[in-house]
């Protein structure tokens, strides 16, 4: 059972920590630069790289060749996708990114063992290096195939993509099978997360559960600590300086790259047209890292995954968060949704969600305030918002449709304050001023509570 809100004892006027929200403009969001991790933090959180496999030096040159070919191909792809007349441009680039990601893991990653590549999970150590060599040559053939027949690229991209997702789901299955404690689990958090699993399809549950389960504990505090190995001498890496290798690109760099891609599509907020329908319908976990770590003689496999897009469950969670915070800061959003890759696109979408939530909220408030005025209620003290009130039912229906969440009392208090503010303003005729609601918004934005820890909990193994 999800615990009740603990904020009734504490007056709702307690302001959440963070930026000053009482300013006139009320730009509640922190700039991204404020959230950058320090490089020292990053290096602390980066897991140690593995030492070379025995065949590493032998295959290194080979892999370098493969990679240069791949990069050549990717450039070719980008030129194709970049032409204005190319139909379905955004979808293509998305798939190219996918391809590039899997390739860079499979072939480009130097010391890292390959991600479960196109031919499924690896067997033993020896078998793995052997199959890796074979994969390398298979890809060489594929590359030349692409270069001779670029028109088949799309087809092959589809094939690769489906292979990749099959491999992903196989490894996820294996992960679940290999961790019996996930089923037994910790009873309390599972129950707390009940609402987040109650209304979704099996596939979604699996990927969401994965993100809840497999993230390493130290990821919790860092939010974006994973590294992608990549041959890239971009200026971004150099800018970071402070002893960072130019071949190690942090997740933030990758984030910036995607952001650049996204902004180039010229969209203020997340646009459905930017992402393919496939992206919308299916949760695509991004495999950031797959490596074997040896500790106490036990070799264990670690697999990190983040969701690339927001899901129906994220929406549901956001709605429940609205009971606590109407104006969540970017930091709060990050702390509550760190199973998703935070790009500007994602951030904008979350912000837009809360904007929509507020819109509905204020519309209801105005509606009920006017209704109360028409009813002839003259004293604001007659205006209350209880759990049985019509107003509460309307709000609850919107933000907590399944009614499986205990709405905190602090929300009732805020709702009551809002209703009275609207009532007072309207009865004083302030609504003749086109911006009369702004004063109310300013009051309400100070009534945000802290989001309970349950929303930030990130189950990990």
Partner DNA sequence: CGTCTCCCTG
Partner DNA sequence: CAGGGAGACG
Binding residues for DNA, rule: CB under 7 A, are 23-29, 31, 263, 267-274, 310, 315, 319, 327, 330, 344, 347-349, 351-353, 355-360, 362, 435, 437-438, 441
Distance (Å, rounded) from C-alpha 270 to C-alpha 88? 17
Report the nearest approach of DNA to the CB of residue 319 (Å).
6
Three-state DSSP at 343 gives: coil
CA distance 340 to 286: 9
Q: How far is the CB of 33 from DNA (least distance, A)?
A: 10
Find the shortest distance in angstroms from Cβ 275 to DNA: 8
Nearest alpha-carbon partner for 339 in 423, 459, 201: 459
Nearer to DNA, 27 or 41 (CB): 27
**What proportions of the chain, in percent to the nearest 5, are helix, strand and coil?**
60, 5, 35
How many CB atoms lie under 10 A from the CB of residue 351? 18
Q: How far apart are the first and last CA of the chain?
A: 22
Taking the least distance from each CB to DNA, the nearer of 167 and 351 is: 351
In angstroms, give the least distance from the CB of 416 to DNA: 19
71-107 per-residue burial string, b: 16 or more CB within 10 A, e: under 16 = bebbeebeebbeeeeeeebbbbbbbbbbbbbbbbbbb
Report the residue number, 159 or 269, with the smaller CB distance to DNA: 269
> In this complex, which beta carbon is closest to DNA, that of residue 130 or of residue 236?
236
**Residue with Cβ nearer DNA (103 or 322):** 322
Taking the complex as a whole, the smallest distance from the CB of residue 435 to DNA amounts, in Å, to 6
Cβ neighbors of 360 (< 8 A, separation 6 or more) are 398
- Nearest distance from residue 341's CB to DNA, in Å? 16
User: Least distance from C-beta 35 to DNA, angstroms?
Assistant: 10
CB of residue 442 to DNA, shortest distance in Å: 9
Q: Measured from the CB atom, is 196 or 330 closer to DNA?
A: 330
CB-nearer residue toward DNA: 400 or 459: 400
Taking the complex as a whole, how short is the minimal distance between the CB of residue 272 and DNA, in angstroms?
3
**Rounded CA gap, 328 and 351, in Å?**
8
Nearer to DNA (CB atom), residue 170 or residue 352: 352
Taking Cα atoms as reference points, which of 415, 400, 441 lies closest to residue 21?
Answer: 441
Q: For residue 403, is it left (φ>0), alpha (ψ between -120 and 50) or beta?
A: left
What is the token pair recorded at 402? 């399944």
Task: Round to whole Å and give the CA distance between 26 and 448.
Answer: 13
* Identity of the residue, 194 or 438, whose beta carbon is nearer to DNA in the bound complex: 438
C-beta closer to DNA: residue 36 or 110: 36
Are 232 and 216 spatial neighbours (Cβ–Cβ below 8 Å)? no
| Cα 385 → chain centroid | 34
Q: Whose CA is closest to 360, among 404, 415, 281?
A: 415
Closest approach, Cβ 226 to DNA, in A, equals 23
Distance CA 336, CA 332 (A): 6
């Amino acid at each position: 059972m999800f615990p009740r809100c603990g904020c009734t004892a504490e007056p709702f006027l307690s302001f959440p920590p963070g930026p000053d929200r009482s300013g006139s403009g009320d730009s509640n969001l922190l700039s991204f630069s404020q959230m950058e991790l320090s490089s020292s933090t990053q290096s602390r959180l980066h897991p140690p790289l593995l030492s070379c496999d025995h065949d590493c030096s032998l295959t290194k040159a080979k892999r370098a060749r493969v990679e240069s070919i791949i990069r050549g191909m990717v450039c070719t792809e980008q030129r194709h996708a970049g032409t204005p007349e190319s139909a379905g441009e955004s979808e293509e680039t998305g798939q190219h990114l996918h391809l590039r990601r899997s390739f860079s893991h499979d072939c480009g990653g130097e010391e890292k063992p390959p991600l479960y590549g196109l031919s499924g999970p690896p067997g033993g150590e020896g078998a793995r290096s052997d199959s890796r060599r074979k994969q390398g040559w298979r890809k060489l053939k594929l590359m030349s195939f692409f270069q001779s027949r670029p028109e088949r690229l799309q087809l092959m991209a589809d094939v690769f993509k489906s292979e990749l997702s099959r491999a992903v789901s196989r490894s996820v299955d294996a992960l679940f099978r290999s961790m019996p404690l996930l089923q037994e689990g910790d009873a309390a958090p599972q129950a707390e997360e009940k609402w987040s699993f109650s209304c979704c399809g099996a596939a979604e549950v699996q990927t969401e559960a994965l993100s809840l389960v497999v993230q390493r504990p130290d990821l919790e505090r860092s939010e974006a600590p994973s590294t992608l190995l990549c041959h890239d001498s971009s200026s971004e890496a150099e800018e970071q300086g402070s002893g960072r290798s130019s071949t190690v690109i942090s997740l933030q760099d990758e984030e910036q790259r995607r952001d650049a891609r996204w902004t180039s599509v010229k969209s203020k907020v997340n646009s459905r047209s930017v992402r393919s329908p496939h992206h919308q319908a299916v949760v695509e976990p991004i495999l950031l890292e797959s490596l074997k770590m040896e500790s106490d003689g036990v070799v264990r496999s670690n697999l990190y995954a983040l969701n690339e897009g927001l899901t129906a469950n994220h929406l549901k969670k956001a709605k429940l968060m609205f009971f606590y915070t109407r104006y969540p800061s970017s930091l709060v959003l990050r702390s509550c949704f760190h199973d998703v890759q935070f790009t500007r696109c994602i951030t904008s979408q979350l912000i837009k969600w809360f904007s929509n939530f507020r819109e509905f909220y204020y519309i209801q408030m105005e509606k009920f305030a006017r209704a109360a005025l028409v009813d002839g209620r003259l004293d604001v003290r007659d205006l209350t918002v209880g759990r049985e009130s019509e107003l509460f039912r309307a709000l609850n229906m919107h933000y907590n449709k399944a009614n499986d969440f205990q709405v905190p009392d602090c929300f009732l208090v805020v709702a009551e304050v809002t209703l009275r503010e609207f009532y007072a303003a309207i009865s004083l005729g302030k609504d003749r001023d086109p911006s009369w609601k702004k004063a109310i918004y300013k009051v309400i934005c100070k009534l945000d509570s802290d989001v309970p820890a349950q929303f930030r909990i990130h189950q990990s193994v």
